[in-house]
Amino acid sequence: MARVLLENVSVDIPVFTSETRSLRKSLLRFGGGSGRLKQESGHVVARALNHIDLELRDGDRLGLVGVNGAGKTTLLRVLAGTYPPTAGRIRSEGRVASLLDVSLGLDYELSGLQNIYLKALFHGVSRQEIDGRLEEIIDFADLGEFINLPVRTYSSGMVLRLAFSIITSMVPDIILMDEWVGVGDSHFIEKATERLENFVGRSSILVLASHSEDLIRKVCNRALLMSQGNILTDGSVANVYHQYHTLGPQPFFNDAEYLALNADVKAAVEAGAFSAIGHFLLHGIYEDREVGRGLHLSVFAEDPIFQEAVARQDSTEAARRMIAVAPFLASVKLPENWRLPRNTPIPLDFTPPPGVRLRIPPGVEVPEGLELPEVYER
């Protein structure tokens, strides 16, 4: 039985160059000394994953959703064992096949035939298993007499065909993919697509990162929405994309937290009446609900932009106003290392209720000469 468990996993990636000192100063100057970049032991460290909790079991087909830099590929590399966690713990049961770099493990000085054994052994396949699949691997790679020549004599397409033939001959429990693999010419791609589908079908767990919504909807039965190294939402593919398209990659709505804070909604969701994000957009945003991370919609009670959207029953516009203001609310707990673009508009048109303070969140720059209202913390 295949299983993967990540508990509070974080990954920091050190940044080293021949000009580390000047690079460090530049990065910290633009990063403001906080957020995803920090100084540690004389070098810059980038936080790539932030306190990740994740469990995968038999039958999971997990799609990773998010913009570039969200942490999708880093998470795949952690699952593959390429990146060790800086903090936290990983437990994995089952043979892993990583298609992040299908040519990894090849020795270009050895022949194609020798590399079949080398790469398969690298992935934990026994010699006896390789012997039983050798003829099928050679036939599918379709390299002819080149199979006995050093790999350094191959074209890049031939290298990929060999590596792809080897990796997809295995019977893994867990498959890791960064986009769908396409190798070779149009004739080989057609063969490879069918082989890849069969390969994925034999696995117990699949983790696929892709920018193709159609692909994730077709292949996956579960999805994560990621941003800035954080998991924002873990749920069905339909619900994750609903949230992604409506609210974007922001941390102010999380299914589990919303249900924990609103017991009546949890009962309705468990009964199948709504999804959490569906309830929030259809009902919750009009009901002064507690959303999570210290954000309560009552702070928008006197905000004309939010209230006008509510009066029109335009939940999308109301949600956009919530997202624009929420990072500036001092009571809202941003994820660790969370940063906004420095040119993020400051909501000067928002007047909070008495006692509610505002702040400038990490990453945002105050334009020179702009005088902030007194409600902003200094």
Write out pLDDT tens, residues 242-253. 999 988 999 988
Backbone torsions φ then ψ of 173, nearest 5 degrees: -90, -35
pLDDT at residue 27 tops 60 = no
Contacts of 79 (CB under 8 A, 6+ apart): 4, 6, 90, 92, 96, 174, 176, 207
pLDDT at residue 258 tops 80 = yes
Q: What is the pLDDT of residue 50?
A: 94
Per residue in 99-146, pLDDT tens?
Answer: 888 888 899 999 999 999 998 888 888 899 999 999 999 999 999 999
Q: How far apart are CA 98 and CA 104, in angstroms?
A: 9
Q: What is the pLDDT of residue 214?
A: 92
pLDDT at residue 41 tops 60 = no
Q: Where are the beta strands (DSSP E) in 253-302?
A: 290-292, 295-296
pLDDT band for position 300 (cuts 50, 70, 90): very high
Q: What is the pLDDT of residue 49?
A: 95
146-176 as b/e: b if 16+ CB within 10 A:
bbeeebeebeeebbbbbbbbbbbbbebbbbb
User: Per DSSP, what are the bridge partners of residue 91?
Assistant: 5
pLDDT at residue 186 tops 80 = no
Contact in structure between 53 and 4 (CB atoms under 8 Å):
no
Angle CA 301–306–310, to nearest 5: 95
pLDDT at residue 185 tops 80 = no
Angle CA 359–339–332, to nearest 5: 45
pLDDT band for position 85 (cuts 50, 70, 90): very high
pTM for this structure? Answer: 0.85
pLDDT band for position 212 (cuts 50, 70, 90): very high
Q: What is the pLDDT of residue 91?
A: 95
Q: Where are the domains of the chain?
A: 3-94+207-223, 112-203, 250-378
Is 9 strand, coil or helix?
strand
Is 232 strand, coil or helix?
strand
Burial of residue 273, with CB atoms counted within 10 A of its CB: 0-12 exposed, 13-18 middle, 19 or more buried: exposed
Integer angstrom CA distances of residue 265 from 72, 170, 258, 278: 30, 45, 8, 11
